[in-house]
Amino acid sequence: MSGTLLVLAVFLACAVEAVEALTIVLAAGLTRGWSSPLIGVGSALAVLAVIVAIFGPAIGHVPLNLLRLLVGALLLIFGLQWLRKAILRASGHKALHDEAAIYQRQASAAQTAARHRRAFVTDWYAFTLAFKGVLLEGLEVAFIVVTFGANQGHLAAACLGAALAVILVTIVGVLLKKPLARVPENTMKFVVGVLLTSFGTFWASEGAGADWPGADRALLVIIPGYLLVSLLFIALLRKRQPATSAPDLGPSRTEVTS
């Protein structure tokens, strides 16, 4: 049961990150040509593969209880951040994440940036834009894959969930050649926030010495519990007048200077 939930959580989390990375890569490729962005994507994937290859097996040597305590605490922090933003968006107190607007912003910046050649890269701006976009989003994917996989002893299953998400998003993106604005990304982030928070609570408590009734079947109670509490917060916040907010264009961390 926990293995299925693990793959689902990893798949959804990685799909969200893949959609955001795809938007950045499309903005670079469609406005400045594909050669340099694809080199940037390949370079970022190589760096991420090395990170997973190094830290995946290494984290498995940490004592299990300490590992669950540390990973559980990190997932709680990570998951609660996602859940908080999802609740604020669902209740109207924070603007929904808008991939189409993010694409337009990145594409406009790419169209006006100067073109410079460095080493084997003909367009350094496009290379850096794609590299940073894939690497920064991919680091979150790598964190989820390594921590989930090592903690449950199912690194291969976690990698499978991540690979399926990335492949699916890439195929759809290549076929459409535009950002996946219609993907229910905000709903997916809400679900992922609930799952990460639930797993974080479960593992951190086990690492601290708690003994859950029914072992991992306790997740069947923890997950609906967090879901109900989150829905309650959404209902309560909707009764309050939301502040006017601009569309969420995401962080500008992937923007670069030439």
Write out pLDDT tens, residues 109-148.
777 777 788 877 888 888 998 999 899 888 888 887 777 7
Residue 83: domain span? 2-238
User: 245 in a domain, yes or no?
Assistant: no
In this structure, is residue 256 part of a structural domain?
Answer: no
pLDDT (tens digit per residue) in 70-119: 888 888 888 898 899 889 888 888 877 666 677 788 778 777 777 788 87
- Residue in 8, 1, 2, 4 with CA at minimum distance from that of residue 192: 8
| Average pLDDT of the residues of the chain | 80
Contact 27, 161 (CB under 8 A): no
Contacts of 27 (CB under 8 A, 6+ apart): 103, 106, 107, 110, 129
Is the pLDDT at 33 greater than 60? The verdict is yes
Quote the pTM value: 0.70
Number of folded domains that form the chain: 1
Residue 255 falls inside a structural domain: no
Q: Is residue 247 part of a domain?
A: no
The first and second tokens of residue 94, run together, are 């924070």
Could you tell me which residues are beta bridge partners of residue 215? none
Angstrom distance (rounded) from CA 215 to CA 213: 6
Closest CA to 27 of 173, 214, 157: 173
Helix (H) or strand (E) holding 253: none
With residue 218 as reference, give the H or E element that holds it.
Answer: none
Unique residue bearing structure tokens 């601290």: 208
32-41, 149-158, 236-245: range with highest mean pLDDT: 32-41
Q: Is residue 250 part of a domain?
A: no
HSE (CB half, 13 Å, CA atoms) of 233? 16
Domain membership of residue 246 (yes or no) is no
Q: Is 226 helix (H, G, I), strand (E, B) or coil?
A: helix
Classify residue 35: in a domain, yes or no.
yes
Q: What DSSP string describes 109-154?
A: HHHHS----BTTBS-HHHHHHHHHHHHHHHHHHHHHHHHHHHHHT-
Does the residue 64 lie in any domain? Answer: yes
